[in-house]
Chain A
Amino acid sequence: MPQSADKVLDHGKLFREDEYKDMLTRKKVEFEQGHSDVKVQEIVDWTKTEEYKEKNFARKALTVNPTKACQPLGAVFAAQGFEDTLPFVHGSQGCVAYYRTHLTRHFKEPNSAVSSSMTEDAAVFGGLNNMIDGLANAYALYKPKMIAVSTTCMAEVIGDDLHGFIENAKKKESIPEDFPVPFAHTPAFVGSHVVGYDNAMKGILMNFWNGQEGMRKENDQINVIPGFDGFCVGNNRELKRLFGEMGLKALILGDNADNYDTPTDGTYRMYDGGTKLDDVKEAIHAKATVSLQEYCTTQTLSYARGEGHQVEKFNYPMGLSATDSLIMKLSEISGKEIPDSIKLERGRLVDAMADSHALFHGKRFAIYGDPDFCMGMSQFLMELGAEPVHVLSTGGTKKWAKAQKALLESSPYGASGQAYPGKDLWHMRSLLFTDPVDFIIGNSYGKYLERDTGTPLIRLTYPIFDRHHHHRFPTMGYQGAINVMVRILDRIFEVADLDTIDTAVTDYSFDLVK
């Protein structure tokens, strides 16, 4: 009997005690009727081969361990960046439970969103009544200033008409006539969460900007759209600080930072922070709209361009030159000089990169995640002297692959790099066996790749479920770049130390000073 009240063993240790090990062996041998250890090993070895890789890459129908979610997750995220806004997802209710869970597990924060809870009868007759009652209930209970509607695939398949439904609900007095209810169709079978973000963002802007045609009076404001970013808490605050340093009149459209980082002080805030709705309305007059993630904002930017905005796009600007480009672009649009304080920050980043360049040189990396993240990350690695080798995005399109490839070709450090659009982490597993790298950069789901291939994982993109608090620190801006660099460096140092930790074997190289 291994358990004791003095020294409590939980799952991590308990099941390694002999009683349990014996029990589990008996279960396996007597009842599971599994394959022999020899057979298992044979297949393990086969999955590491070039032959397996070819079969794996020949897949046409099966997706295994993708790096993308579906549209409404992005739509819910986008909505939660606005003042007192309740995301309302029209369709089956289980979806909303999933989005809330997913976002909560990453940010370790409450996440509020409602569903119209459509069931079989709504599948037959349509979800109009669900919309009418749902808006009335959500409005009465949660007192939002805006309800942002998106859809699950169920509502899309049956073809519910959001616009008509919402108008109908207003007629039935579910919500006041002038209450903002932007909407976006977000079918899960098109694109991914980054497209859902785009659709929802566009829907919200349209809600406030349409009807102002011809009234636009351009001012010197710059709208900044961050895109779907698991590090938004740290990043948006860092961006605002930089905007302040530069004296810019800049507005973040969809600022999730405070909503995803509320204090524990005795009061639960269902909503916090977010872009003020009045500011969204006024944002039509901005001179320019700048997207930090091109693939999260394709539609939105083209809409803003149509409204007369100068539009600019980045690909998750991270590291030295991407931050330079962003800062210079903001300076160019605004006509504001880049202050010395920012030059100082830049210098500190260059200083740090110079100090550590030897550690990065020639290190090979696999990167996966959203299309923009892959680009931002690989660009930073290349300027550190590291080599992005496998760059993979299940949600990445052919257009993305072309841009990603061009980026890799822009630097000698990208010479061995390849972009993999539409591929998944089971493809990545084959790549890691047939063409090994030193590190993987991705999210928590990469831990299975780390275990299978022995390639150390660095978690730098959404979702991060199994580590705490990293999203509180910026990855953008010059200071964010230092954070990212230190995260990677720490892993490089830890791996090197672990690799030389055997006494009387590798006493050399176990260095105190590095």
Chain B
Amino acid sequence: MSLTDTVEKNQGLIDEVLEAYPEKAKKKRARHLSVHKEGEKDCGVKSNVKSLPGVMTIRGCAYAGSKGVVWGPIKDMIHISHGPVGCGYYSWSGRRNYYIGTTGIDSFGTMQFTSDFQERDIVFGGDKKLGTLIDEIEELFPLNKGISVQSECPIGLIGDDIEAVSRAKAKEYGKPVIPVRCEGFRGVSQSLGHHIANDAIRDWVFEKEGNATPVEQTPYDVTVIGDYNIGGDAWSSRILLEEIGLRVVAQWSGDGTIAELENTPRAKVNLIHCYRSMNYIARHMEEKYGIPWVEYNFFGPTQIEKSLRKIASLFDEKIQENAEKVIAQYRPLVDATIEKYKSRLDGKKVMLYVGGLRPRHVVGAYEDLGMEVTGTGYEFAHKDDYQRTTDYIGEGTLVYDDVTGYEFEKFVEAMQPDLVASGIKEKYVFQKMGMPFRQMHSWDYSGPYHGYDGFTIFARDMDMAINNPIWSQVKAPWDK
């Protein structure tokens, strides 16, 4: 099919799918669906606006963005899900942010701490309970290095002053106690939660006197920002940075610690993987401490090489030479991986729908395996993400922002990709259709996918999904 045909066909598909909506919703959804045309600056879609009620958005909330994504992985702090029991329960240990530590003693990542609000707390306020709760944490979990208070919806509605409680308790215990106003009704998706969480770090970590001993500085100090160590991603990235001679003084926030956060302003460069969730703090550090930041992409060898060279270019020749050495050193692994899997995946088509980074960042990794991304979209991207996306996708790609359950089902049905790569809520919908699927938030319990070591796993997983024998058995043989 020629490119013009694809563009026309996909536009037709969008028009057809929109027909199902009531008039008002149709008009609104139309702005979020587009067929990418070369030269367009932002994929032609509107983003970061409210989801329509009743359409089955895949998005989450600000609390999910703060507690679930940004703060939750800081392993030596205790993150209180402040409010009713559910939010903490559903987000308990579901994201696979790997860490190493003695859970319940000096690390707390796979635990759920909640104030389990009752009716009386709603009526009379929960500040007193919060204070008592922090006392109890200090008594029972004395090795915690700090506490964050992750607000659930009611907190902001009943007028609690969690800032006052936090200030008082921080003083009393000489530890960071950080109030985060990430009530789920704020903003339109997880995204505002990321922003609020970043701001809380700015105001309640950077602006306070912490307990960390300042790390000794070297010219090669960098940080990894916006890597949540899903399946160990930050580790398979860190190893490459160390191999080119850099020193990673902090991980944000996968397998991270409060000391690493506090020491971050001492780094030479901040390296940003997930731009969407952590660009705010990187910009702040640039402004306030003069620390430059650079985006990188460790999915797939093409992007890894590009990123290693880009990062090395900020340092001296030694580092640049090291980068070339590391690229060469991993070349046999890359070649062997591509040799093994490309013939099995060449020409296969993928449709993506993920959060705020991967809908563009993983495109190169698929292309390294000979695959083609025919549709992509984000849950909570902003305009600057769609601008960046244009570097990755080609003419005719279907782009869907904050896709609804209905739209995604219809798009996939019509486009018949060889793989759908999205989240757990989408997984079984498409598998029922007989469509291979990989979860691209949790790596479907696999990973890491970052770095060279991760790429080989990624390649294996895509092959495993697409070429699994079960997909030829979906129809009963007597129905053929």
* Segment 232-291 of B: residues with Cβ below 8 Å from A: 232, 235-236, 238-239, 242, 248-251, 255, 257, 259-260, 263
A140 contact set on B, CB distance < 8 A = 20-22, 25
From B79-87, B200-208, B295-303, B362-370, give the one contacting chain A: B79-87
Given the contacts A105-B424, A140-B20, A11 and B259 also touching, CB distance less than 8 Å: no
From A130-138, A219-227, A238-246, A320-328, give the one contacting chain B: A130-138
Q: Is there contact, CB below 8 Å, between B456 and A72? A: no
Q: Is there contact, CB below 8 Å, between A33 and B235? A: no
- From A44, A91, A101, give the contact of B153 (CB < 8 A): A91
A507 at the interface (CB under 8 A from B): no
* Segment 10-63 of A: residues with Cβ below 8 Å from B: 10-11, 14-15, 19-20, 23-24, 26-28, 30-35, 39-40, 43-44, 47, 52, 55-56, 59-63
- From B25, B114, B185, B249, give the contact of A137 (CB < 8 A): B25
Q: Is there contact, CB below 8 Å, between A265 and B20? A: no
- From B55, B140, B152, B188, give the contact of A153 (CB < 8 A): B152
Count the A residues whose beta carbon is within 8 Å of the partner chain — how many?
112
B248 contact set on A, CB distance < 8 A = 27, 31
From B6-14, B31-39, B103-111, B171-179, give the one contacting chain A: B103-111
Q: Is there contact, CB below 8 Å, between B457 and A10? A: yes
B392 at the interface (CB under 8 A from A): no
The smallest C-beta distance from B282 to any residue of chain A, in angstroms, reads: 19
A448 at the interface (CB under 8 A from B): yes
- From A30, A63, A109, give the contact of B85 (CB < 8 A): A63
A93 contact set on B, CB distance < 8 A = 51, 57, 59-61, 184
A404 at the interface (CB under 8 A from B): no
Residue of B nearest to A32 (CB): B257
B430 contact set on A, CB distance < 8 A = 268
Q: Is there contact, CB below 8 Å, between A66 and B114? A: yes
Report the tally of A-B residue pairs with Cβ distances under 8 A.
353
* Segment 293-311 of B: residues with Cβ below 8 Å from A: none
Interface residues on B, range: 35 or more
- From B57, B63, B140, B448, give the contact of A55 (CB < 8 A): B140
* Segment 64-94 of A: residues with Cβ below 8 Å from B: 64-66, 68-73, 88, 91-94
How far apart sit A448 and B107, CA to CA, in the bound complex (Å)?
Answer: 13
Q: Is there contact, CB below 8 Å, between A448 and B103? A: yes
Given the contacts A11-B98, A23-B235, A55 and B139 also touching, CB distance less than 8 Å: yes
B1 contact set on A, CB distance < 8 A = none
Q: In this complex, which of A11, A23, A118, A138 has the most chain B Cβ atoms within 10 angstroms of its Cβ? A: A11
Among all A-B residue pairs, the 5 with the closest Cβ atoms: A94-B61, A70-B86, A134-B53, A134-B54, A98-B90
Q: Footprint of A on B, CB under 8 Å?
A: 20-22, 24-25, 50-64, 76, 83-87, 89-94, 98, 100-106, 110-119, 121-122, 129-130, 132-133, 136-137, 139-140, 142-143, 152-154, 156-158, 184-188, 190, 212-213, 215, 231-232, 235-236, 238-239, 242, 248-251, 255, 257, 259-260, 263, 329-330, 333, 336-337, 339-341, 404-406, 409, 424-425, 427-434, 446-448, 452-453, 456-457, 459-460, 474-476
